[in-house]
Amino acid sequence: MGCRDADTLRHLAEGEKKFADLYMKSGLYITEIVKRLYRSEGLKVAYPDERDRIRHILQEQVFGMAPTRIIYLIATNYILGFEEELKHSTHNFVEADAAEASKLGTLDALVEQHFGQ
């Protein structure tokens, strides 16, 4: 991420903004966002307990779709591999082909189906 992106992310971390990777491959993009959010001063103040902070980020702020089962497993193991409990309680990462949905004009519906509240 460039300086401008880092400044934007730092600003957004102060609030309750959400981040999505709708075509995950390795999980690296989401992991980088998680690391930056985790280190942000705003979230440290809002969630001083480290476990509460990481749980909040993974359950409320980051989302992802992977186009195939194997890519889903690779990405979620990379993102959540350190925490067995969160692997089973985080439903923000799904196996779904956003590229195909985009071609069909149904991406909004797919995102709403999986992440709408």
Residue 90 is predicted with a pLDDT of 75
Residue 39 is predicted with a pLDDT of 95
Longest dimension (CA), the chain: 44
Q: What is the pLDDT of residues 42-53, one digit of tens each?
A: 999 999 999 999
Element of type H or E holding 93: strand 93-95
Residue 95 is predicted with a pLDDT of 97
Q: Which domain holds residue 22?
A: 3-115
- Cα distances from 66 to residues 27, 38, 60, 88, in angstroms, run 9, 23, 18, 17
- Are 27 and 62 within 8 A, CB to CB? no
Total of domains in the chain: 1
- Rounded to two decimals, the pTM is 0.81
Q: Which parts of the chain have pLDDT scores under 70? A: 1-15, 117
Element of type H or E holding 101: helix 98-104
